[in-house]
Structure formats: C-alpha cells, structure tokens
Amino acid sequence: MKMTKLLFLLFFTFNLLQAERIGDIASVVGVRENQLIGYGLVVGLNGTGDGSSSQFTLRSLSNLLQTVNVKIDPADIKSKNIAAVIVTTKLPAFARQGDKLDVTVSSIGDSKSLQGGTLLLTPLKGVDGKIYSLAQGSLTIGGMNGKEKGQINHATAANIFNGALVEREIEYDLHEQAFASLSLKESNFNTAISIQQELNRNFGKKIAVATDSRTIKLMKPENLSMVEFLATTLDVNVKYEKEEKIVIDERTGTIVSGVNIKVSPIVVTHGDITIKIENNPNLEEDTKSTDIGGDVKIATNENQIKMNEQSMTVANVARALNKLGAKPKDIISILENIKRSGAITAPLEII
C-alpha cells in the first residue's frame, strides 16, 4: 500500500496552569498599532512595469509630470519603466516624528516585476484620511526566487526597510490617566480572575477588577505614575490556563494539535477504512498487531487502531491513520467527524 504523507505538527502545550507574564497574555486597551496605506509610483524598472492597459498608471505619471511643468497626454506615454503600487505600513503606538518605518509595496497593475525599482514620495494615510507618514526609497525583493542570475525575478511585491518617516503623531494621554484596562488575548474567566487576584496581592490593595472573561479594569496607585504602574503590572507573573485546540488547514493538509488532546473510545467507518479506538491495557499480549511507537498498535488483519488509555490522543490517532495508508483529506475528515461525535472535547478550528 502506497503511503501518503501528512504534515502533522505537535506543539508541546499542556492544559495545565502555567506561569506567564501579564504582558505576554494581555495588552493595554488603546495602546495599539494603526494601519497606514497610500498610492504611489515605482520608477526605474527595466521594461517590467505597467503596460498601456493600466490607464491609471499613465494618468498618474502625467499628473506627476505636470507638477514639474511638463505637460503630456497620457496616451502619448509608452514607457514600461513605471508601475502603480499600493504602499502599506503599521504606525506603532507612541511613534514620534522622524521615526522610521518599514513599508510593503505591492503592484496593482500588470507589472511583471518590481525588481530594481524606486518608490517615489508617497503619502501614507490612516482611516481618518490624514497623512501620518511619507514613504520613498529603493525596493528590496530579496533573493532570486529560484531564477538563474540574469533572468527576471517576477516579484510584484517588495519591501523598503526604514522607507517611511513619521510626520504626524497619534497622541496618547497616558501619563495623566488614573485608570486603564487590560484585554486578554484569549478569553478565559479563570485567567481574568487570576490576574485580578495576583495584581491586588502584588500591590497590597484593590487596584484590579475583572469585569468579564477578557477585560480587567485597573486603578493606578497614588504613589506611581501610569507608566510606572503599567510597567510593573505587565511584568507580574500569573497562573495562565492555556486552552489546547486543534487547527486544520484543509488546503495544505496540515493538522496542528496539542499532544495531550484526548480521544474517547469510538468506532469510525470512513470509506473502506474502519477504525476502532478502544482502551486496551494489554497491548503486549496482542500478537497480531504491529507496534508503531508510543504504545500504539495497529491490527494486522483489519484496519483497527489499538491503544492504551494514556496514548489515546489526537496525535497518535492521526499518526496511526497515516500508517494505515489514509490520505490527508481522509484523516482530516475522520478527525472532524470524531469531533462532531463528541469523542474529542477540545475546540477544532478549520482554516
């Protein structure tokens, strides 16, 4: 039987209480990045730019030339050394004027490649329509993507490291605030209560209260500034209950699972495969099975999976199915249906 390959990633995450910094599992509400976007032109391309079908590129170049007193009809422009692009970046919290940002440049026309191009001065705006940064510089493609030297690198996206300068700041009046809020990256009532209790114990007074499974309201002590208070708060270790889950990418056949996610005894029939998952504590007495490691055995006379109670996990089931010759799509389908039957209690996310 021809064996198929399944990409199965195991993360050694356990559904136990772990000590984590608050700063690693929560963020301060209001302190965040902001997305910026702009439309620009890339010049200096060696005949790999937009063609005559990209009318917006030709009109943009015509408008640009008019700013330097050169008037030309867009229909008269035949150059293929320019390309229209969308420029994006992220404005970090507390960014100041003169700070440099990395930008991503992506072609929106029929350009064959942006290699060797230079982005002309491009204003980057926020959702409010205001300009927060200006981008300009030489594009970096990175590698030849398997092409031989001298051939065209068909890359329609590129980067400019430190290619944008911050021109407008977003004001955060953090220093004068007396209250703040934390938002957990993953909702969990136990973790929210744990943070509340640990902060109140650490500061010796009631300065934190969990308002729901994700939000913890904070009140700054009088003897600390808000910056000092948040720095101390985010560095406190708390008991963190990490939720294990299964993530399946149906497009690539990738399964990501915690190694301790259990599977209850169940019988599954899928096509010509019949799997019986049972608690068999006497594996060593079964002489008709093949040991595939991890206290998991497969019956040689039927498509049957045998394992003891400790090894009844999603990881071992997927590995055994792969050993039986099941295709990735079949393994994914089987796991999905085992989840629907209730034999797997961990959350399952399909992307």
Judge if 153 and 256 occupy the same domain: no
In a 3-state reduction of DSSP, which class is residue 138? strand
Q: What is the pLDDT of residues 47-101, one digit of tens each?
A: 888 887 888 888 888 888 888 888 888 877 788 889 999 999 999 989 999 999 9
More confident residue, 314 or 307: 314
Judge if 71 and 128 occupy the same domain: yes
Mean pLDDT of the chain: 81
Domain boundary among 199, 214, 241: 241
Q: Quick one: average pLDDT of 227-247? A: 86
C-alpha separations of 317 from 29, 37, 101, 117, 175 in Å: 41, 46, 46, 51, 54
Judge if 158 and 39 occupy the same domain: yes
Judge if 235 and 257 occupy the same domain: no
**Would you give the distance in Å from CA 249 to the centre of its chain?**
14
pLDDT of 257 over the 90 cut:
no
Residue 1 forms part of a structural domain: no
Domain with 301 in it: 7-12+245-350
Judge if 270 and 300 occupy the same domain: yes
More confident residue, 33 or 351: 33
More confident residue, 303 or 127: 127
Least confident piece of the model among 85-94, 169-178, 258-267, 330-339 = 258-267
Judge if 47 and 162 occupy the same domain: yes
Q: Quick one: average pLDDT of 269-295? A: 62
**Domains in the chain: how many in total?**
3
Residue 87 forms part of a structural domain: yes
Q: What is the CATH number of the domain that holds 214?
A: 3.30.1360
Q: Decide: 116 and 46 in contact? Cβ < 8 Å.
A: yes
Q: Quick one: average pLDDT of 205-212? A: 94
User: H or E element: which one contains 157?
Assistant: strand 157-166
Residue 330 forms part of a structural domain: yes
* Banded pLDDT at 197 (limits 50, 70, 90): very high
pTM: 0.68
* Banded pLDDT at 293 (limits 50, 70, 90): low
More confident residue, 273 or 118: 118
Residue 33 is predicted with a pLDDT of 92
Residue 125 is predicted with a pLDDT of 96
Judge if 58 and 133 occupy the same domain: yes
Angle between helices 328-341 and 314-323 (to 10 degrees): 140
Residue 41 forms part of a structural domain: yes
Domain boundary among 219, 241, 263: 241
Residue 2 forms part of a structural domain: no
Judge if 122 and 208 occupy the same domain: no
pLDDT of 144 over the 50 cut:
no
Residue 215 forms part of a structural domain: yes
Judge if 300 and 271 occupy the same domain: yes
DSSP string, 239-287: EEEPPP-EEEETTTTEEEEETT-B---EEEEETTEEEEEEE-S-GGG-T
* Banded pLDDT at 299 (limits 50, 70, 90): low
Domain boundary among 138, 166, 194: 166
Judge if 210 and 280 occupy the same domain: no
Judge if 149 and 78 occupy the same domain: yes
Judge if 198 and 260 occupy the same domain: no
* Banded pLDDT at 334 (limits 50, 70, 90): confident
Residue 146 is predicted with a pLDDT of 41
Residue 16 is predicted with a pLDDT of 47
Residue 45 forms part of a structural domain: yes
Q: Quick one: average pLDDT of 139-157? A: 63
Percentage of the chain lying above the pLDDT 70 cut: 81
Pairing of strands 179-184, 26-28: antiparallel
pLDDT of 158 over the 90 cut:
yes
Residue 251 forms part of a structural domain: yes
Backbone angles phi, psi at 288, to 5 degrees: -100, 20
